[in-house]
Amino acid sequence: MTCIERFGWRQAVEPGIGRIVSAHGDYYRMVCNEAEGAILARKKKSAFRYNKLADRNCSPDTRNCESLSPVTGDFVRFRHNAHGESQITEVLPRFSHFGRRDPTARRQSQTLAVNFDTLFVMMSPNEDFSTARVLRFLDLAADMGEAEAVVAVTKMDLLRDGDGGLLDELRRAVGGAARVLPVSSFDGTGLEEVAGYAQPGRTLAFVGSSGVGKSTLVNRLAGEELQATCEIQEWSGRGRHTTTVRELVMLPSGAMVIDTPGIREIGRVGEFELMQAKGESTHRRRK
């Protein structure tokens, strides 16, 4: 099996196909069959000329917008220029896409993860717990493409006296939209079930508020401290936005995880006002 196939490529293998493992402005770390390990690649400027316009005009469920910038998890076409630089010329069609309305309202949508098989919507049962937020994530996930959504209730070890009906209530609210899975990276609850999704060549995406334990779960599945983690603020139960770059991590099982930075607002277009009305944080005001 070639490198790009190990990284989830399921079509005919050709030269010049890469997968983005992290994005840093116009530079990307990318894996491909032409090199050992991740290499640095750059967007070929002329190929992405219409990028800004396309970004602005794309709705959150856009999967095949050819001139969109690559993001972590994307499969891309690249070639070497005369100086030996790897230049990305095309973003290949995405089989799944999860995005939200951009809270800064500069653009209409913000892509959070692409080309994943399972989307883990993660929430911890502390004072920041919100069934409504889980439902908003699932609403956005409804048209994500060829992928399945799972709701992971993390830090179950903190609920010493049972879950007080929290899981039942959440399951009722979620209905058939997703499986609700209790998980703890500390005492191992649910890890076998999560590992069941982590099959070779499959990609999991972890999304949810800061501090819910996304990176800790990545580390637990990896069996080593690949991702930085940080304690949450005691007074608010919220995290400190420790993960700042979306990263595709290869696990020992041969599955990959896209670890994403924590987010708070998760509205569809038109929901921004609803969140403001409910007194939820929207950070920056829309013009």
Q: Measured at the alpha carbon of residue 152, what is the angle toward residues 165 and 230, in degrees to the nearest 5? A: 110
**In the set 140, 185, 194, 251, which binds ligand GTP (CB under 6 A)?**
185
Our finding on whether 69 is near Mg ion (CB under 5 A) is no
What mask, x for binding Mg ion by CB under 5 A, covers residues 113 to 152?
----------------------------------------
In whole angstroms, how close is the CB of 233 to ligand GTP at the nearest point?
10
Our finding on whether 184 is near ligand GTP (CB under 6 A) is yes
Choose between 241 and 268: whose C-beta lies nearer to ligand GTP. Answer: 241
Our finding on whether 22 is near ligand GTP (CB under 6 A) is no
Q: Which of the ranges 138-146, 152-160, 196-204, 235-243 carries the binding residues for Mg ion, by CB under 5 A? A: 235-243
Q: Which of the ranges 39-47, 142-150, 196-204, 236-244 carries the binding residues for Mg ion, by CB under 5 A? A: 236-244
What mask, x for binding ligand GTP by CB under 6 A, covers residues 208 to 227?
--xxxxxxx-----------
Strand partners, 118: 148, 204
**In the set 118, 185, 209, 215, which binds Mg ion (CB under 5 A)?**
215
Residue nearest to ligand GTP (CB): 262
CA 104 – CA 283 distance, rounded (Å): 8
Exposure b/e, 139-162, CB count within 10 A at least 16 = b: ebbeebbebebbbbbbbbeebeee
Q: Which of the ranges 9-17, 130-138, 170-178, 205-213 carries the binding residues for ligand GTP, by CB under 6 A? A: 205-213
**What is the DSSP secondary-structure string of 174-219?**
HGGG-EEEE--TTT-TTHHHHHHH--TT-EEEEEESTTSSHHHHHH
154 touches, from ligand GTP, Mg ion, none (C-beta below 5 to 8 Å by class): ligand GTP
6, 19 in Cβ contact below 8 A?
A: no
Choose between 8 and 262: whose C-beta lies nearer to ligand GTP. Answer: 262
| Other CB atoms within 10 A of residue 35 CB | 13
108, 57 in Cβ contact below 8 A?
A: yes
Size of the site for Mg ion (CB under 5 A): 4
Closest CA to 265 of 142, 141, 61, 101: 101
209, 239 in Cβ contact below 8 A?
A: yes
Closest CA to 174 of 148, 206, 150: 150
CA 15 – CA 155 distance, rounded (Å): 44
Our finding on whether 239 is near ligand GTP (CB under 6 A) is yes
Our finding on whether 260 is near Mg ion (CB under 5 A) is no
Beta-strand pair 27-32/39-43: antiparallel
- In the region spanning residues 242 to 281, those forming contacts with ligand GTP, defined by CB under 6 A, are 242-243, 261-262
**Contacting residues toward ligand GTP, per CB under 6 A:** 154-155, 157-158, 184-186, 210-216, 229-232, 239-243, 261-262
